[in-house]
Structure 1
Amino acid sequence: MKSVASSLATVAVALSAATSASAQTPAPAPSQAATRAQQMFGDISPKFAELTDNVLFGDVWARPGLSPRDRSLVTVSALIAMNRPDQLRPHLIRARDNGVTQEELIETITHLAFYAGWPSAVTAISVAKEVFQKK
């Protein structure tokens, strides 16, 4: 798990270095709808919102090597393993939108209980219950 965290930190540093010369991105024009990233943290960190929109979702999620459904399963699994409930909530919704069934998500959580730890799975089940009740 520590190697995942250091890999993510390395990617973050590389992205930061690659974009440090860029000016901060202004807020979207009134004619454009604000993205979720812009709504969540664009006011405090426009560059982070831009990277989220353009690099993460505009490039990484758009790559042809995995379907959006498979990317959702991988992402949900990583968030469960790292015990990240705040990020898991929207990705469970995205996974459902990408064709992953509620039953498949519950099975994923159950499976990961044995690989990522019982406490992480308990947290994920609670988040899933909350998300599924809202939909």
Structure 2
Amino acid sequence: MAKQSAPEELAEIAPKLVEVTDRVLFGDVWERPELSPRDRSLVTVGVLTAPYRTEQLAYHLGKALENGLSVEELSEAITHLAFYAGWPNAMTAMNQLKKIADEQAAA
């Protein structure tokens, strides 16, 4: 998996948040061997879908595809989440997934 990092433009106003994100979240937690990046992505997509965290969700859907999940697997996970996290949350996540999949197919 390519090294992830917090958006650089946030360093101007929140340098500590960017530092901790890069060092702890992406530098340690995402690198731990107990879960694969694929599994971490699946968990992250679920956790971001459930409370309607759409701003972060788009990034992590793309990361999930990079980490080996297929569009079909993500679609199935989001469909499953509809019954536990709410229909509107799942529909929003599915629309984001479709947009990302369409962009990748066009590239």
- Secondary structure of the equivalent of 1:37? coil
2:56 aligned with 1:121: no
Aligned residues: 101
Larger radius of gyration: 1
Q: Output the amino acid matched with 1:100.
A: L
RMSD: 1.2
Residue 38 of structure 1, CA deviation: 4.1
**What is the CA–CA distance in structure 2 between the aligned matches of 1:40 and 1:122, rounded to whole Å?**
30
Runs of 4+ in 1 over 3 A off after TM superposition: none
More relative contact order in 1 or in 2 (CA 8 Å, sep 6+)? 2
**What is the CA–CA distance in structure 1 between the aligned matches of 2:21 and 2:83, rounded to whole Å?**
31
Residue 36 of structure 1, CA deviation: 4.3
Identity, % of aligned positions? 55
2:32 aligned with 1:43: no
User: Given that residues 113 and 121 in structure 1 are in contact (C-alpha distance below 8 angstroms), is that contact kept between their aligned partners in structure 2?
Assistant: yes
**What is the CA–CA distance in structure 1 between the aligned matches of 2:56 and 2:15, rounded to whole Å?**
19
- Secondary structure of the equivalent of 2:88? helix
Unaligned runs of 5+ in 2: none
Unaligned runs of 5+ in 1: 1-34
